[in-house]
Amino acid sequence: MLKNSFILLLLAFTAGFAMQGQAGDSLLPEIPEAQARFSEAQGCVEPTAEMRKNHMDYILHQRDETMYEGIRTRQYSLNECINCHVSDAEDAPRVSSEEHFCNSCHSYAAVKVDCFQCHADRPVKTSDNQSFSTTGKPALQIIDSLHALETEGTVHE
Amino acid sequence: MSEESGIDVYRRRFLSGSATAAAGMAVVPGVFLHEIGHAKPAADPVTSEVRWGMLIDTNKCAEGCNDCVTACNDEHGLTGHDRPETDAQWIRKVKLKDKQTGHTQTLPLLCQHCEHPPCVDVCPTGASFKRDDGIVLVDKHICIGCRYCMMACPYKARSFIHETLQDQLPHAPRGKGTVESCTFCVHRVDNDGTPACVEACSAENHNAMVFGDLNDPSSEISKGLKQHSTHQIRADLQLNTGVRYRGI
Ligand code: SF4
Ligand code: SF4
């Protein structure tokens, strides 16, 4: 009896390793580790299975609440997804790479992800903002008088 | 429901107004104001109890100074292609010259956050909208880039993004094919902050810009508006702009 359960245990172990090996052979997406856990009991902000299936609904709901109502809670914020799931290292993979958290799965599932045409695909520290260059605009736009502004505008009847 | 929001407003006024002087003191034993002293808790929606506005004193606006524009560009990662006609611009310095006397003055011009915004009236998709607290924004998820709003805005406050963008900032998502304009730094305002341009103007000790709640009679901006003669640009359009000017 004891011997049997030992063999079972051994089998379970080897099976586990075999499966991991398979993931490495790129049949399944390799998903980068998150930087932190939501709680001791839970990795992500909802159970992982729920997030895998329905993350877009959470993000979409939060998106409208933030934009229209100024609600800025962090739990389902896209910025917080990125802060936790993407490294802020200079050479960290960007969303175009399959090593980026979002794209690792999205490319596997062949689902195009549009978010990052506008949104940041990596954490950016606000103090770093200054490193972005600014527009090469002339400092002043000269108009003759306020009246010029008036005649340029659209008049609403 | 209404009772609840009544309490909320009371609490907000209390925390942001009279109580700020005592910030850090205990209200009741064990509760410190600075721990709960946000004007708006992150989970609360904005309300029309507040209307954000800006008062610009053109007498204090220094000719040759461009700090508000630079601060805005930095804050939102507005990068250009050296094509002034089409590069995004949320705030710009305008120079006024009286042809008769030769007197000149400068002022910053930005989205005026109109109470009756023509950009919202003409938008065919509903992407242009006004928040309850008076901030006019574009929902770029819906915007189709038709640019009707750019034509309708009397202040030429809006820009269209012609090129694919990269390295946008987390708090300022922007993208090709959509229209954008000044947001009153909504990401700062929601966190009890001040727009970047106002901050930059004060940092240089020009203090030509004041930002605040037009609905709160005790705010600096309301007091300024009560005390001095101020103007709306194109007041004839009766848009009731949130941005007011002194000295023009
Ligand atoms: S200034 Fe122009 S963009 Fe701003 S709210 Fe008024 S019409 Fe709209
Ligand atoms: S460009 Fe966008 S925001 Fe402006 S009117 Fe068209 S759909 Fe509305």
Q: Is the pLDDT of residue A153 over 80?
A: no
Region for B116 from its dihedrals, namely left if φ exceeds 0, alpha if ψ lies in -120 to 50, beta otherwise: beta
Rg, C-alpha atoms of chain B: 19
Q: How far apart are CA B116 and CA B31, in angstroms?
A: 42
**DSSP characters over B100-123:** TT--EEEEEEE----SS-HHHHH-
Q: Using an 8 Å Cβ cutoff, are B118 and B154 in contact?
A: yes
- Under an 8 A CB cutoff, do B45 and A71 touch? yes
- Looking at residue A138, its pLDDT comes to 33
Q: Is the ipTM of this complex over 0.85?
A: no
Rg, C-alpha atoms of chain A: 25
Q: How far apart are CA B145 and CA B112, in angstroms?
A: 21
- Looking at residue A25, its pLDDT comes to 61
Q: How far apart are CA B95 and CA A136, in angstroms?
A: 18
Q: B18-30, pLDDT tens digit by residue? A: 333 334 344 444 4
Mean pLDDT of chain B: 88
Block residue for tokens 């008036």: A150
Give the phi and the psi of residue B73 in degrees, each rounded to 5: -60, -40
Residue B79 CB contacts under 8 Å (≥ 6 apart), including other chains: A132, A133, A134, A135, B73, B165
In a domain, B30, yes or no: no
CB-based contact (8 Å) between B165 and chain A?
A: yes
Q: How far apart are CA A72 and CA B218, in angstroms?
A: 27
Please count the structural domains in chain B. 1
Range of the domain at B63: 48-246
Q: How far apart are CA B193 and CA B129, in angstroms?
A: 22
Q: Can you give the CATH number for the domain in which B222 is found?
A: 3.30.70.20
Strand partners, B192: none
Question: Which of these, A49, A134, A127, lies nearest to B171 by C-alpha position?
Answer: A127
Q: Whose CA is nearest to atom 7 of ligand 2?
A: B143
B69 CB neighbours in chain A (<8 A) are 137, 139
Q: What is the largest CA-CA distance in chain A?
A: 98
Q: Using an 8 Å Cβ cutoff, are B78 and B198 in contact?
A: no
Mean pLDDT of chain A: 73
In a domain, B43, yes or no: no
By Cβ distance, the residue of A63, A118, A142 closest to B168 is A118
B155 C-beta closer than 6 A to ligand 1: yes
A152 CB neighbours in chain B (<8 A) are 156
CB-based contact (8 Å) between B114 and chain A?
A: no
In a domain, B91, yes or no: yes
B181 C-beta closer than 6 A to ligand 1: yes
In a domain, B28, yes or no: no
B125 C-beta closer than 6 A to ligand 2: yes
Block residue for tokens 């099976």: A15
In a domain, B103, yes or no: yes
Indicate the angle between helix axes A78-85 and A48-69, nearest 10 degrees.
140
B40 CB neighbours in chain A (<8 A) are 70
A94 CB neighbours in chain B (<8 A) are none
B122 CB neighbours in chain A (<8 A) are none
Residues 53-112 of chain B with CB under 8 A from chain A are: 64, 66, 69-70, 73-75, 77-80, 82, 84, 87-89, 92-99, 106
CB-based contact (8 Å) between A157 and chain B?
A: no
Q: How far is A15 from chain B (nearest CA, A)?
A: 42
Q: Whose CA is nearest to atom 2 of ligand 1?
A: B153
Q: How far apart are CA A155 and CA B17, in angstroms?
A: 40
- Looking at residue A30, its pLDDT comes to 87
Q: Is the pLDDT of residue B186 over 70?
A: yes
Residue B34 CB contacts under 8 Å (≥ 6 apart), including other chains: B23, B24
Q: Is the pLDDT of residue B15 over 90?
A: no
- Looking at residue B2, its pLDDT comes to 42
CB-based contact (8 Å) between A53 and chain B?
A: no
B102: closest chain A residue by CA: A144
Q: Is the pLDDT of residue A131 over 90?
A: no
Residue A122 CB contacts under 8 Å (≥ 6 apart), including other chains: A82, A86, A87, A88, A92, A94
In a domain, B25, yes or no: no
Q: How far apart are CA A113 and CA B213, in angstroms?
A: 39
Residue B14 CB contacts under 8 Å (≥ 6 apart), including other chains: none
B78 C-beta closer than 6 A to ligand 2: no
In a domain, B197, yes or no: yes
- Looking at residue B40, its pLDDT comes to 82
Indicate the angle between helix axes B196-203 and B67-76, nearest 10 degrees.
140
Q: B100-129, pLDDT tens digit by residue? A: 999 999 999 999 999 999 999 999 999 999
Identify the residue among A65, A114, A117 best suited for mutation to test binding to B, counting B beta carbons within 10 A and taking the highest: A117
Confidence at A44, pLDDT banded by 50, 70, 90:
very high
- Under an 8 A CB cutoff, do B70 and A134 touch? yes
CB-based contact (8 Å) between A130 and chain B?
A: yes
* SS3 of residue B176 by DSSP: coil
Percentage of the residues of chain B whose pLDDT score is greater than 90? 80
Check: pTM over 0.80? Answer yes or no: no
